[in-house]
Amino acid sequence: MNISQAAQATGLPAKTIRYYEEIGLIQPNRSANGYRTFSQTALHQLNFLARARALGFSIDDCRSLLTLWEDRSRASADVRRIAAAHLSEIETKIADLTAMRDTLSHLVKTCHGNDRPDCPILNTLSGTSSD
């Protein structure tokens, strides 16, 4: 299977597949003419990476998870540790986004949005807010 067929089969852009090869996440075979050929194993790896990236795992985490997936003697505790750390990062981001939303929502509600120059949004951004 060539790269365009692998891209179609996995839903990943060919550019992403080339990048994954460049950074050593996957290693497709090469035909006599130098073209990449993808085995079923390579397709499984690409699908695995696509799902892991869709969950927001970093490239480094994907590398570790892929290594663990391929290691039949792995300890699930190692996998869990990576996933739990990522979940913690997501929860922190959600808390930060919630705080941002609440602050911005408050500022939008307190801004009259009229022709007057007084604006609590700009005052807060400039650090001159009395709020």
Give CA–CA dist 7/116, Å, rounded: 55
Per 3-state DSSP, the chain is made up of helix, strand and coil in percentages (nearest 5) of 65, 5, 30
pTM across the whole model:
0.82
C-alpha distance from residue 3 to each of 10, 23, 32, 77 (Å): 10, 16, 15, 35
Does the pLDDT value for residue 131 go beyond 70?
no
For the four alpha carbons of 52, 53, 54 and 57, in that order, the dihedral sign comes to: positive
Give CA–CA dist 117/93, Å, rounded: 34
Does the pLDDT value for residue 130 go beyond 80?
no
Query: Is the model more confident about 118 or about 19?
Result: 19
Give CA–CA dist 69/42, Å, rounded: 13
The per-residue pLDDT for 128 is 84
pLDDT digit string, tens, across residues 5-58: 999 999 999 999 999 999 999 999 999 998 999 999 999 999 999 999 999 999
DSSP β-ladder status, 36-37 and 29-30: antiparallel
The per-residue pLDDT for 102 is 97
With pLDDT > 70 as the criterion, what percentage of the chain qualifies? Answer: 98
The per-residue pLDDT for 8 is 97
Q: Which of 104, 9, 25, 21 is nearest to 59 (CA)?
A: 25
Give CA–CA dist 79/65, Å, rounded: 7
- The average confidence (pLDDT) of the chain is 94
